C-alpha cells in the first residue's frame, strides 16, 4: 500500500511537475501552431531562423511561466491553474503584438524569415513571461 508520503517525495513531485509541464508545453505548441499563419515545424525544418526564434521564445516563455508557478504554489492544482492562466496571458500578448504593429503583419514577416521580427517576437515572449510569472500568485 502506498502511503501519502510517497506522493510528497521530492522525486515523485519532480517527475509529476516535469510530466505535466512537458504535456502543457506540447499543447501550447499545438495552440501556437493554430494561431500562426505558418507551420512552425515545417518552416524550422526549411531553415527559417525567424520562425525558430519566435518558436524558441514561446517555448522559453511557457517554461518560465510554469517555473514561477511551481515555485509559488504548493498544490499541484494551483500550479497547473496559474500556469495555464499565465500561458493564456502569453497568447494574449502575441495577439497584442500583432495588433500593435499595424505597419506590417508579424506572421507574414516571420514566415518570410524576417529575423528582426522573429527576434522581437522572441524577446516579447521571454520578457513578458518574467512579468507574467512574477505576477501569478
Name the most confidently modeled range: 72-76, 126-130, 133-137: 126-130
12-16, 25-29, 46-50, 83-87: segment of lowest average pLDDT: 12-16
> Among candidates 109, 102, 70, which has minimal Cα distance to 86?
70
This prediction has a pTM of 0.87
- Between helix 76-99 and helix 10-35 the angle, nearest 10°, is 20
Q: What is the mean pLDDT of residues 40-51?
A: 96
Give residue-wise pLDDT tens across range 64-122. Answer: 999 999 999 888 899 999 999 999 999 898 889 888 888 889 999 999 999 999 999 99
d(CA 82, CA 76): 10
> Among candidates 136, 129, 49, which has minimal Cα distance to 94?
129
Q: Which residues contact 126 (CB under 8 A, 6 or more apart)?
A: 57, 60, 61, 64
Amino acid at each position: 500500500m502506498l502511503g501519502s508520503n510517497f506522493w510528497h517525495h521530492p522525486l515523485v513531485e519532480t517527475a509529476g511537475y516535469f510530466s505535466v509541464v512537458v504535456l502543457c508545453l506540447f499543447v501550447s505548441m499545438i495552440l501556437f501552431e493554430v494561431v500562426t499563419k505558418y507551420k512552425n515545424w515545417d518552416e524550422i525544418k526549411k531553415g527559417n531562423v525567424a520562425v525558430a526564434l519566435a518558436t524558441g521564445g514561446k517555448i522559453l516563455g511557457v517554461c518560465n511561466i510554469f517555473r514561477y508557478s511551481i515555485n509559488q504554489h504548493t498544490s499541484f492544482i494551483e500550479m497547473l491553474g496559474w500556469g495555464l492562466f499565465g500561458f493564456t496571458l502569453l497568447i494574449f500578448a502575441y495577439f497584442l503584438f500583432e495588433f500593435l504593429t499595424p505597419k506590417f503583419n508579424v506572421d507574414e514577416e516571420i514566415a518570410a524569415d524576417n529575423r528582426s521580427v522573429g527576434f522581437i517576437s522572441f524577446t516579447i515572449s521571454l520578457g513578458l513571461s518574467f512579468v507574467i510569472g512574477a505576477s501569478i500568485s
